[in-house]
Amino acid sequence: MLKYIIKKIILMIPVLIGLTIIIFLILHLAPGDPVDLIVGPNATPEVYENIRRDLGLDKPLLTQYMVFVGKLLKGDLGDSILQRRPVMDMIIQRFPITLEVGVWALILSFVIAIPTGILAAVNRNSTLDYAAMTFALVGVSMPTFFLGLLLLYFFAFRLGWFPVSGYGTWRHLILPVIAIGVTDAAVTARMVRSSMLEVIGQDYVRTARAKGLDENKVINKHALKNALIPIITLLGMRMGWIMGGSVILEIVFNRPGIGRLMVDAIFSRDYPVVQGSMLLLTASILLGNLIADILYAVADPRIKY
Amino acid sequence: MVDRIEIFEEIEPVDDSSGFLVRLFSNKMARFGGIVILVVFLCAIFAPIIAPYEYDAMNLPEMLKAPSAENIFGTDEFGRDIFSRIVYGSRISLKVGFLAVGISMLIGTTLGALAGFYGGIIDLIISGITDIAWSFPVTLLAIAFVAALGPSLTNLIIALAIVSWSGFARLVRGQFLSLREKEFVEAARSLGMSDSRIILKHILPNAFAPIIVLTSLEVPKAIIIEASLSFLGLGAQPPAPSWGSIMSSGRAYIMEAPWVSFFPGIMIALIVLGFNLFGDALRDTLDPRLKD
């Protein structure tokens, strides 16, 4: 198992290299001279040269990339062009606001999806199954930000139960968490159902039934445990989607999280901030995937590499 | 004594293509999905005939009017007719959905076919890149590319194509790996056919079914991402009537004019639901093995 975990960690290295290349290129793919974009057309040549040297743009591309990665490893993401302060400080300050929505949404999603998926699979083709799968289909088709807007309108504006914008208390959290958690639960419930159906069709479940165990025992003891193992991987897979949704919902609910920071920085062309927030968001998702992979190996003794 | 020939004459030749359509549309969900898709397609084609106003025709005295006989979905903050904007907006959703997925299908299928057919070092390199691309979160990566290229619809299509080809590459590679061992490929080889002919004429057609199924399930994803990014202001730019950007401008007036955001939101949910239903039914009919 240790071997499997080490292998998974080693496989992350090329992914991380790919990620740093893409993030490094954000600044260089931008049309036009990045320095012009930053200093504006009225800058004096001295200012222009200073910024150019600050960004290291006078050096060859490969050197620039090496410098970028070198700084990154020391936790230096550069300075914000607009605010003139370290990007690292800015994103560390904003990240918890994004993370709390993401974590609670993930929990809500699994609390809804696991029982729903299992009940649907156990009572296959029953009314319950159809109801659950209809909910799942509607949920899969619902854009998270539209559900967010609906919740905002009805529960914050009309009924006044929750604050319209801002962050800090649990009441600020409820609506964005529901918007992400419910739409995500729809996807997850479908996968839980099919994972459970697959296990129910296995030989060992048939054996358990054949030796006369009652149905409850077959489901709880034999099927459920095995069906839950692939769901751990699902936990990792859904991270990306949840964090992406959380970025968009920060615009809907006016939460000053890292998504808001990134989108604002895209419009003000504050590239170091865009790079830093993108890096942190994607790296946290990749880390989530890695943790899920490791948990999977711990939970399933069959995995030996 | 029973005349055997008679028995054989009773068996009618099966027209498989019509049988396929009958099976597909015997599914209620597929019918609903198909109708939704058809309606949106008709809206896109006949937009100038269906829409009562131009999508960018401003009428400031009539701004933020609630739905009425003149403006059945109401008006936005410039007095533009929401219904007309939504009808024209269907062009953007379909264009982005099909172009982005079409391009990513071409990229993914080409790479997957090369990897699966040749194996060896080519497979190793392509699969490595594919696995890296596969592990990135799609929405965030699309935002990253748009941030780099600048916000516009064309750049959004490019970004979507760049981020979503890996699913096709994985699928096609798997198909090719198993198909290349089949007898008909060996037969084609022994006849001295070129690799490109074997790939395009003999193996690829056998992999069409799963590719089409994946395409039909990727289009709604692309439509949602387009709407999301346009909602953030990173996709279609004003006055283009993308459903996502109509919702974005409605966000500021949601208290006094919720219809500005709600109608395009309902449209996005409907078209995505339509594609999902149709895609699911297509998968079950074409290739039941793909059922998740």
| Interface contacts A/B by beta carbons within 8 Å | 135
Contact B147 A274 (CB under 8 A): yes
**H or E element that contains B262:** helix B259-286
Which of B32, B40, B126, B132 is the best residue to mutate to test the A interface, defined by the most A CB atoms within 10 Å of its own CB?
Answer: B132
What is the average pLDDT across B78-91? 90
Q: A28 Cβ partners below 8 Å, 6+ apart? A: A34, A61, B148
Helix (H, G, I), strand (E, B) or coil at A79: strand
Q: What is the pLDDT of residue B3?
A: 44
For B267, which residue in chain A has the nearest alpha carbon?
A142
Nearest Cα residue in chain B from A23: B144
From the centroid of its chain, how far is CA B219? Answer: 2
Tell me what the pLDDT averaged over chain B comes to.
Answer: 86
Let me know: does B79 contact B46? Beta carbons within 8 Å: no
Chain A CB contacts of B139 below 8 Å:
240-241, 244-245, 247-248
Q: Which residues touch A69 (CB under 8 Å, ≥6 apart)?
A: A20, A24
pLDDT bin (cut points 50, 70, 90) of residue A277 is very high
Q: What integer best gives the mean pLDDT of chain A?
A: 85
pLDDT, tens digit, for every residue of B15-66?
A: 556 677 777 777 888 889 999 999 999 999 998 988 888 888 888 887 888 8
Please give the C-alpha separations between residue A115 and each of A188, A211, A228, B288, in angstroms, as whole numbers: 11, 27, 11, 26
> With b meaning 16 or more CB within 10 Å and e meaning fewer, what string describes B85-124?
bbbbbbbbbbebbbbbbbbbbebbbbbbbbbbbeeeeebe
pLDDT digits (tens, 9 = 90+) for B111-168: 999 999 998 899 999 998 898 888 888 888 899 888 888 888 999 999 999 889 999 9
pLDDT > 70 fraction of chain A, expressed in percent and rounded: 95
- Using the predicted structure, report yes or no on whether residue B265 has a pLDDT greater than 90: yes
At A237, list the tokens.
Answer: 């897979």
pLDDT, position B19: 72
Query: What per-residue confidence (pLDDT) applies to A54?
Result: 73
Here the ipTM equals: 0.86
Quick one: average pLDDT of B273-282? 90
Q: How far is B151 from chain A (nearest CA, A)?
A: 9
Residues B85-94: what's their mean pLDDT? Answer: 93
Show residues of chain A in contact with B273, CB under 8 Å.
137-138, 141
B254: chain A residues, CB-CB within 8 Å? 149, 152-153, 157
What is the arithmetic mean of pLDDT over A135-144?
A: 90
Mean pLDDT of A5-20: 86
- Rounded CA separation B236/B227 (Å): 9
% of chain A beyond a pLDDT of 90:
23
Assess B162–A contact: CB distance below 8 Å, yes or no: no
Give me the residue from A14, A22, A157 closest to B144, CB to CB. Answer: A22
Local confidence band at A38 (pLDDT 50, 70, 90 cut-offs): low
A33 pLDDT above the threshold of 50: yes
3-state secondary structure A259-282: HHHHHHHHHHCCHHHHHHHHHHHH
